[in-house]
Chain A
Amino acid sequence: MATITRSTITNVLAKQGILIAFVLFIIGFGLANSRFLAVDNVLGVIRSSAILGVIALGVTFVVISGNLDLSVGSMMSFSTIVVLDLHDKLGPLMAIPAMFALTMCLGAFIGFLVGYLKLNSLIVTLGMLSAIHGLTLTWSGGKNMDIADKQGTWFGIFGRGDVLGIPVPILFFALLAIVLSILLARTPFGRKVYAVGGNGTAATFSGIPRARIVFLSYVISSFCVACAGLLQASRSLGSQNTVGQGLELEVLAAVILGGASLLGGAGTVFKTVIGVLILGFIQNGLLLVGLAFYVQYVVTWVIIILAVWLDIAAKRGRFLSPIA
């Protein structure tokens, strides 16, 4: 009986551990600092997590399908620079769809390489990280990109506006999370993404077009990156070429923290949102108790490794690895 209870506890911990940790964390900081759970603080946290979050939603698809995407950071720099540049050249109404089209072409290219040519996603997206960075620098000539007339454009509403007191980036993030969550959890496509990542061979033997599913997951990822680029550009109305640098690994950290397995086949959009919020609230909570922003890096390190370790430990039934 005792063993059953213990294994049940391990099981619950393994499945919902991250959610429990999140709740405990919120309660802890809420008690430590009353500002922490104030509405404006919470909105502020979510708002500043929105860009990371939007990208993480897309990367969730890629990771569940069993691949990696290290190119999202430099791809976001690309879309930010492109939309800012085109804003002044074509006007915002044309610039936005043009930027989406270009960004999604990049995603489709990666999807083609990984899905149809079956190249290793780590190396392909590593190469694309570099290549897209080069593309961005070539596009901008290496200079910062600014909108000339910052006062006279409506372009700022995506990053700066709010609706009924809620900042637009939050609405954007929430809306995208709901739509993608439904896509992943409720549609045949979503089911196929899980099948391809869970066991690609079995998926093929079940008549699922594996290459196409992988391709589409990268297209979705690039769509999310384009959304994030739009939010970033709209918030700052001007940008450096390196605005998204390093984001790819933070995004991956959020997705893994949410419980998606790098082997594929596991994870949900909701859990990724939790992962993103944890990162955001850690950062905020640490700032509120007077610690510098970089302390969150160390905390994130510990949390990621603990989260993945506990997950593995629950599956193998022992804490330490059996490797001699």
Chain B
Amino acid sequence: MQSEQTVRFLKKGAIWAFIVLELVFFSVAGHFLSLSEGAFMDLDNMLLLLKQSAPIGIIALGMTVIMINGNIDLSVGAIFAFSAVILLDSMTWAVFAGLGDWVIPVSWGLALLTGTILGAINGLIVWKTGVDAFIVTLGAMLGYRGLVFMYNGEQPTSELNWTLVDFAEAQFLGLHTATWFLLGCTLVLWLLMTRTVHGRNAYAIGDNREAAVNAGIRVGPHMMKNFMLIGFLSALSAVVFYSESGSVNPNDGSLYELWAITAVVLGGTKLAGGSGSVISTLGGVIAIQLLRKGLGYIGSDTETVNLVIGLILIAVLYLDRQLNRKGKEELRI
């Protein structure tokens, strides 16, 4: 019993320990290699890091919920792009011409609604057909991407609203707007997963679906809500990111699903479901971004970051397996 608690504690703390390790390593290595001026742990540098973590981070938070629930969503990148297109395009719609800057909340609302609806479609299919979420969202990844292209051809969709840019580039208490969104989402989702019936049921369903069904939890609608949630968050991520950049290419957001899943797994969420935490996912997101920046800081090619992250992901999986092994007497199958 004692050792199980120790293992649990180790697992929860692992990602933060890893972040500290990264900080120490890059600071020391950077110092000795003295390739860059200024310390790695510079405040501005760290604030920028948080801001850059936001787009993937917000999606990864939603992916955590989906994966705790025992599902997966591969369509987040496409939802991200489609919501971005709606966000930017709707600002130019003639109907909203008289609104002035009030078009911003309207466009935001439309973009968020789009993401939520796309998520709901995934959820409904998973619920009603019984097709595995992996296949449903794999299909949707292609399908939604097709919709993005159909909307505006292969042309980028652009609309730069300076009020919006000012808002997106603003800093409040030193943190960028995007960072506030990331932290806000983390807090809300943490409350959702730890304090509400919906969140607790998500764990129960992911851990033991049959028991949850027997206990009378309506699994289908529950899963659909979670798909709507991740759709909403993908759209929110797009809103945060494109308010500043103002231009979306139809291929934007490709591979976001893979980055998000990587962050979630690094944060210790089990692929099989039932276990995980949004706070640890935030750690996973930061760890990846830190690695990206750090490798650049010590002068290695930025390309190396892919290699390192991939290998770290596999190493985490291996360690997790070793921790969970029952010992030598285990049946070898």
Direct contact of A and B (CB under 8 A): yes
Q: Are B130 and A130 in contact (CB under 8 A)?
A: no
Q: Does A314 contact B (CB under 8 A)?
A: no
Mark out the residues of chain B between 304 and 333 whose CB falls within 8 Å of any chain A CB in the assembled complex: 304-314, 317-318, 321, 332-333
Please judge, given known A-B contacts A124-B317, A245-B254, whether A137 and B301 are in contact too, CB under 8 Å: yes
Q: Which residues of chain B have C-beta atoms less than 8 A from A246's C-beta?
A: 254-255
- Chain A residues with Cβ below 8 Å from B261 are 126
Chain A neighbourhood of B255, CB < 8 A: 245-246
Q: Is the CB of B127 within 8 A of A321?
A: yes
Q: Are B321 and A117 in contact (CB under 8 A)?
A: yes
Contact of B306 among A117, A134, A321 (CB under 8 A): A134
Chain A, interface SS category: helix
Judged by a CB distance under 8 angstroms, whether A304 is at the interface is yes
A297 surroundings in chain B (CB, below 8 A): 142-143, 145-146, 149
Indicate if A127 sits at the interface (CB-CB under 8 A). yes
List, in ascending order, chain A residues with CB within 8 A of B39's CB: none
B residues in contact with A191, CB < 8 Å? none
B residues 288-315 in Cβ contact with A at 8 Å: 301, 303-314
Per-residue contact bits, chain A 9-43, to B (CB 8 Å; 1 contact, 0 not): 00000000000000000000000000000000000
Most buried by B among A113, A295, A297: A297
What 0/1 readout, one digit per residue, does chain A (206-235) give for beta carbons within 8 Å of chain B? 000010000000000000000000000000
User: Chain B residue with minimal CB distance to A202?
Assistant: B333
A133, B130: Cβ atoms under 8 Å? no
Tally of chain A residues near chain B (CB < 8 A): 58
Point out the residues of chain A lying under 8 angstroms from B142, CB to CB: 249-250, 253, 297-298, 300-301, 304
B262 at the binding interface (Cβ < 8 Å): yes
- CB pair A294–B306 under 8 Å, yes or no, is no
Q: Are B143 and A262 in contact (CB under 8 A)?
A: no
B326 to chain A, nearest CB (A): 13
A287 contacts the other chain (Cβ, under 8 Å)?
no
B141 to A249, Cβ gap below 8 A? yes
A323–B123 CA distance with the chains assembled, in angstroms: 13
A123–B264 CA distance with the chains assembled, in angstroms: 11
> Once the chains bind, are B129 and A138 in contact (CB under 8 Å)?
no
Q: List the count of A-B residue pairs having beta carbons below 8 Å apart.
A: 172
CB distance from B44 to the nearest CB of A (A): 27
Interface residues of A in 58-112 (CB under 8 A from B): 70
Closest to A305 in B: B139
Nearest Cβ in chain B — how far from A66, in angstroms?
13
The answer to whether B138 touches A304, judged by C-beta atoms less than 8 angstroms apart, is yes
Which B115-151 residues sit within 8 Å CB-CB of chain A? 125, 127-132, 134-136, 138-147, 149-150
Q: Are A249 and B138 in contact (CB under 8 A)?
A: yes
Is B38 located at the chain interface by the 8 A CB criterion? no
Q: Which residue of B lies closest to A200 (CB)?
A: B333
B183: interface (CB < 8 Å): no
Q: Does A302 contact B (CB under 8 A)?
A: yes
From B130, B143, B213, A302 is in contact (CB under 8 Å) with B143
Q: Which residues of B contact A200 (CB under 8 A)?
A: 333
Query: How distant is B147 from chain A, measured CB to nearest CB, in Å?
Result: 6
Which residues of chain A are within 8 angstroms of B143 by Cβ–Cβ distance?
297-298, 300-302
Give me the 4 closest cross-chain CB pairs, A-B, nearest first: A301-B143, A131-B310, A297-B146, A134-B307
Q: Which residues of B contact A (CB under 8 A)?
A: 74, 125, 127-132, 134-136, 138-147, 149-150, 153-154, 213, 218-220, 250, 254-255, 258, 261-262, 265, 271, 301, 303-314, 317-318, 321, 332-333
Q: List 22 A-B contacts (CB under 8 A).
A: A70-B258, A113-B318, A124-B314, A131-B310, A134-B308, A245-B254, A246-B254, A253-B139, A256-B138, A262-B132, A294-B250, A295-B146, A297-B146, A298-B142, A299-B146, A301-B143, A301-B146, A305-B131, A309-B129, A321-B129, A324-B218, A324-B219
